[in-house]
């Protein structure tokens, strides 16, 4: 029987973590890896909506990601609030009976209640953290057997400039 699994991806969380590790993700290769390794049929990316990033959004959609946008909140100091946690939790729960298993991709402890619920419902396939050495100790203690890291398969999904 073919698996019907979904991924819910905290995009900013991945980008910030990989930037700290001095490498970039090849989003197309990552999407293919998710399909091949975890049988992910639908992969939801949670992003802020910035009008001048339309080309990036088009690229991600062509790479078979479903984008869930959050409007950007510009604070008085002109810093931008990037948090998409509520949208990720909501979307995961909206679709819970449509997928066999969910894979959550984030290192954020804020998703602990979601992960607990998915485990209780036998709906968690995997929690993938961006950095195997830097993620919440609470996640590490509670769900070690369900955790994988993007750094474990970096060679398969790292962006590499191609010669023209």
**Domain limits, the chain:** 5-157
5-157 CATH choice from 3.30.70.980, 3.90.79.10, 3.40.50.150, 3.40.50.1010: 3.40.50.1010
How many CB atoms neighbour CB 34 within 10 A?
24
Strands 80-81 and 73-74: what pairing? antiparallel
The confidence score (pLDDT) of residue 114 equals 93
- 126/88 Cα distance (integer angstroms): 15
What's residue 82's pLDDT?
65
Instruction: Encode the chain (164 residues) as per-residue pLDDT tens digits.
Output: 789 999 999 988 888 877 877 888 999 999 999 999 999 999 999 998 888 889 999 999 999 999 999 877 665 555 565 678 899 999 999 999 999 999 999 988 788 899 989 999 999 999 998 877 666 666 666 666 778 888 889 899 989 876 55
Q: Name the DSSP letter for residue 153.
A: G
Residue 21: per-residue pLDDT: 76
Alpha-carbon distance values, 43 to 27, 101, 105 (Å): 11, 12, 10
> Helix (H) and strand (E) counts for the chain?
7, 8
Chain CA centroid to CA 9, Å: 2
In whole angstroms, give the CA distance from residue 65 to residue 82.
19
> What is the maximal distance between C-alpha atoms in the chain?
53
């Amino acid at each position: 029987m073919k698996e019907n699994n979904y991924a819910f991806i905290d995009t900013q969380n991945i980008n910030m973590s990989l930037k700290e590790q001095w490498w970039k993700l090849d989003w197309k290769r990552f999407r293919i890896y998710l399909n091949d390794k975890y049988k992910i049929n639908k992969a939801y990316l949670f992003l802020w909506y910035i009008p001048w990033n339309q080309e990036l959004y088009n690229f991600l959609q062509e790479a078979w990601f479903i984008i869930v946008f959050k409007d950007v909140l510009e604070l008085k100091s002109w810093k931008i609030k990037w948090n998409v946690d509520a949208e990720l939790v909501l979307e995961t729960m909206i679709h819970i009976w449509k997928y066999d298993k969910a894979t959550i991709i984030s290192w954020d402890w804020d998703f602990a209640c979601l992960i607990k619920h998915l485990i209780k419902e036998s709906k968690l396939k995997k929690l993938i953290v961006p950095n195997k050495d830097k993620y919440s100790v609470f996640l590490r203690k509670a769900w070690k057997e369900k955790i994988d890291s993007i750094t474990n398969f970096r060679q398969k999904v790292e962006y590499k400039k191609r010669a023209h």
